[in-house]
A and B are shown apart, each in its own frame.
Chain A
């Protein structure tokens, strides 16, 4: 049976550190809400804005799949595996922390802000060899359709992670409708609106609202405004 979990944008945890404005959909840092710990294997959904020249210094991770999606501006990444890269709007970056990595993330620009999503997914295998990847997506391929940006399969479209998860992004004209079919039985989908408004199974979502959908085999979504952009994250509910 389908069920829904609506997280309004203004119900997220907020942190303003001056150089960093962050909104946490799930408990993170000083935001602790026992009813908002995770949605299945999706543990972290942070919506970050970092001032020019600023960023996160070197810090460790282990046993987590970490996905970064720049929304505006460029993000500079450096890690203990020797990777040094800049990820831009249209790119997606993934790290499997596995046995442990350190990395830093800085705004590549001295003047402009960078906005990006950082998403953490529990892996289906512990202590894997750390890995890093980033790819550039063709954003035109998400116009009025869902573009796969992440999957469990290295041969499939987008980046891959150690989890039975599929992410899609789409940017729609007003009144365009589409359908999403669950890839793996038992998985749930967390829908996060980036811009504009959507209706999903009769529920209206505004910018930065999130909707967790459980028990579905498929669902309909409709753009209610022009340039409506959405991220769908399908993840295992049992992991």
Chain B
């Protein structure tokens, strides 16, 4: 089981991403309400959604050592293609 952190400023989209990720047997989604919580959090992968400030994103990319994915969308599309190799 891999823990996938979902982080973004659009709460509705984050909620959908959490639901989609939790459909995979091999994954469990977690969320964090701000960048400080995220940086202190425990997870295997980070899915970065939209509405993250440039400052926060730079901080995240500098300090998060786990693989980071940018979300582009498509419930069963790109998300699945990009996550699958890491969930096997």
- A residues engaging B (CB < 8 A)? 27-32, 43-44, 59-64, 97-100, 102, 120, 126-127
Contact = CB atoms under 8 A, between A and B. Distances in A.
B85 A59 contact: no
Contacts of A30: 80-81, 84
Contact of A44 (B52, B71, B78): B78
Given A100-B12, A100-B50, A100-B51, A61 B73 contact: yes
A28 B10 contact: no
A59 B75 contact: yes
A86 B73 CA distance: 22
Which 6 interchain pairs have the tightest Cβ spacing?
A: A61-B73, A62-B50, A100-B10, A59-B75, A64-B72, A60-B13
A62 B75 contact: no
A132 to B, nearest CB: 14
Q: Main SS of the interface on chain B?
A: helix
Contact of A32 (B10, B73, B84): B84
A62 B81 contact: no
Nearest to A44: B78
B81 A100 contact: no
Most chain B CB atoms below 10 A, which of A44, A98, A99, A100: A100
A99 B13 CA distance: 10
B67 interface: no
Nearest to B11: A100
15 contacts: A29-B76, A29-B77, A29-B80, A30-B81, A30-B84, A60-B16, A61-B73, A62-B10, A62-B13, A62-B49, A62-B50, A63-B72, A98-B50, A99-B9, A127-B50
